[in-house]
A and B are shown apart, each in its own frame.
Chain A
Amino acid sequence: MVNTAAKKKSRMSFGSYWERFGTLSILLLILIGFSIASPNYFLSVNNIKQIGMQSTIYTVLAFGEFFAILLAGIDLSVGSVAAFCGAVCAKLLLVNCPVWAAVLIGLLVGVALGAINGTLINLLQLHPFVVTLGTNTIFRGIVLVMCNGKPIFGLPLGFKSIALYVGGFPIPFLIVLVIAAILIWFTKYTIAARNMYALGGNKQAAWYSGINTKRFTLLAHILSSTLAGIAGIIMTARVGAAEPTAGDGYETYAIAACIIGGTSFFGGKGKPFGVLLGGILIGTIFNGLSILNVSSFYQKIALGALIIFALALEKVVGNISAKTQRD
């Protein structure tokens, strides 16, 4: 029996290697590509800081999206939630609310919006795709009403400093690393997270095993929207204004970062570290293309193609590893 165990393990090695390091390999590949295309600037300290800054929003949104996808669902409303929380925060700052209170209330709005998503999914027994497709538009509409369709300017410096550097290190990216550390701990060591993996893997079995499926669906959407709220506040600080159209379409990047990072669309599989790499990958692609003076229109085309390329590569390598396992 021990013998077959050893055999199985050695045969599994390539597949599990790819599962673990696939995203990292793709990221390195793209880094090398850009370094060759832009040898002088791309790998400079300044630009690496810039990449960190640029990746922040995508990564934080993707961290939230991760929980929705982990439960075999999806959250299409993250972009609107980000804008919503940013706008609430900005409005409060304009009436001289202290920065900490404005940020806190902004985050609580994120919690509330997630609770709305989760409750609708549970009550109506609808697929999260349908519910968040609807709430995405509703939330966006409310933001437009709130801002009267115009950006909210004139935010205090104390707030904008959230998006500055400390000791040469971009604060937003520090926030990303802190969140990543918390999530890695959370998914690895808490019973709640284990139950979410179980629920994502098999909802029926989760219910028959005693897991409160509705409550965890609610939790996943609260996490998703709260993290989207954090992204929205950072975005507002960085731009120096809350724009009503901020984050429009960003759910695409959040979902892409999750999938590139190895989160399974079928639920129950994926790790925050992979999502972190996925988010950085998307930031890197945008950064690299900007350096190469590719216009933002073409950047979209390139990013889309790269998403498909990354996933296709993963699939092809996955198939090869499956074949080598069989032979």
Chain B
Amino acid sequence: MEYLVQMHNMTMKFAGVVALDKVSFDLRPGEVHVLLGENGAGKSTLVKILSGINHPTEGEMFIGGTHFTHLTPAMSKDNKIAIIYQELSVIDELSIAENLHVGKLPTKRILGIPHVDYAKMNEHAKELMDKVGIRRSPGTLVQELSISEKQMVEIAKALAADARILIMDEPTSSLSVEETDNLFDIIRQLKADGIGIIYISHKLKEIKRIGDRVTVLKDGKYMGTRDVSDIEVEDLVPMMVGRQVQERFLRPTPPEAEPEVLFSVRNLTRRDRKARNISFDVYKGEILGLGGLIGAGRSEAMEGIFGVSPISEGEVYLHGRKLEITNPYSALKQGIAFVTENRRETGFFQNFEIWKNISVTTNLKKSRFGGFTGLTDEKQEREQATHYSEKLRTKCWGIDQMTVNLSGGNQQKVIVGKWLAVNSDVFIFDEPTKGIDVGAKSEIYQIMRDMVDEGKAVVMVSSDMTELLGVCDRIIVFSNGQITKTFMNEEATEEKILYAAVSAY
């Protein structure tokens, strides 16, 4: 059989640390080969060899039958390899057509002087856009597009470069259910055209839907390759983590007949009306899940509760007492914690070590006038950081490590730690396991369950159905800025949730 890529015994060492240990990998035309593994398993390291960023210490590879010991970015391009990273590299300020022709604008000569040939460029762009299903004018600025459309522009760019090997790094991490379906349709078309796709993902479910073969890496080691049709995806989990991951984190005992209400929201409407008339209760002993499509108003409602964004009406009660929340500072002081969706943008401070990130909230709580008064206490701050890092089992070389250098799951633990440190009563988690590997996910779920057992109110916004059904005891579904349905876990199914999620559009 003919192969697009064959990699044999790839070994990669950084500063004496083995990042890849004799990994073999191959790709056939017209297949989706999933690359699976936890963060730090070596997926990115392997892919970066193909993009020419990493030069392997040992090993050899064949690309389209030609032998290489290493590639450079230019060689990678010449060999028709294209990568779509999680952080998209489209240029917002340019039009779709211009993005598709960066570095190779078609020109025509007017009076002997070369000019950009817009007509030709737009025509060519339209062809590419039709292939990936972008229904927009080629002159549309990329900043007006949704993330999913931007991703399609990236794919079109790869097609424009006539890529035969397409690498996609977690392409569905910020896509809604519908957008994911659309992406998979495009991938199937690309397959039919004979393009080989290397698909990096954490989502086990997707493997069955889109993958042909799957290769598992663990700690830089090759764990094996399987045909997707031969296996159940659950079989792959032990290969990834080396231990059986407990899938369900529901409460062990049935709820009391009249459970105590810990936290209530009544008729909350945001001033921009992105969330309207939101009312719900959080009972003692439960994890409450908020389901729905991306943009359904769940995060927006949570931002309203926490005082990040202004609300036009609505009340919030903790243990039956009405809270006065005007900004995040007052929310913090009154015992609400908000673990946000975007760790990097709104979660932690890139310039701070672990211990400083954790003590931001405790310092604010003990100071007055919005954080103006009071002195820091480094000794106490370090002790508390050590305590919570151990409690949450944060993997780091010490509390002096910069938070930005931790893996996603461990960054998340630092953020959770900073809210645990102020002993918050209500924990709002917004997509807490986004971009986090399987092992760390289980740990986050267990942390949430422990919080519930300690009598805290826990709310989780999640777009991951498995997560909602596996972790949340009760699920409220948002649709188009409103609540449409509430399910007890026992009665909830993916279909019912999805139906409720689209019902108000």
Contacts and interface: CB of A to CB of B under 8 A. Distances in A.
Nearest to A207: B328
A295 B329 CA distance: 55
B367 A197 contact: no
Contact of A208 (B328, B351, B359, B371): B328
A32 B132 CA distance: 65
Contacts of B346: 202, 204-205, 207-208
B498 interface: no
B15 interface: yes
A205 B338 CA distance: 11
Contacts of B397: 1, 4-5, 8
Interface string A230-272: 0000000000000000000000000000000000000111000
A220 B340 CA distance: 27
17 contacts: A190-B376, A191-B363, A197-B349, A197-B351, A198-B360, A201-B350, A201-B351, A204-B345, A208-B340, A209-B328, A209-B364, A211-B360, A212-B327, A216-B371, A267-B351, A269-B351, A325-B15
Interface residues of B, number: 40
Contacts of B376: 188-191, 194
Contacts of A327: 15
Query: Is the contact region of chain A dominated by helix, strand, or loop, or is it mixed?
Result: helix
A327 B371 CA distance: 43
B4 interface: no
Nearest to A189: B375
Interface of A: 1, 4-5, 8, 11, 188-192, 194-195, 197-198, 200-202, 204-212, 215-216, 219, 267-269, 325-327
Contacts, number: 112
A201 B352 contact: yes
Contacts of A192: 367, 371-374
B361 interface: yes
Given A194-B356, A208-B308, A211-B329, 20 more contacts: A4-B397, A5-B398, A191-B364, A191-B367, A192-B371, A194-B360, A197-B352, A198-B356, A201-B349, A201-B350, A202-B351, A204-B346, A205-B346, A208-B306, A208-B338, A208-B346, A208-B347, A212-B370, A269-B351, A327-B15
B283 interface: no
Contacts of B366: 191
Contacts of B418: 209
Nearest to B348: A205
A159 B15 CA distance: 62
A187 to B, nearest CB: 10
Nearest to A325: B15
A68 B12 CA distance: 44
Interface string B324-355: 00011101110000101000011111111000
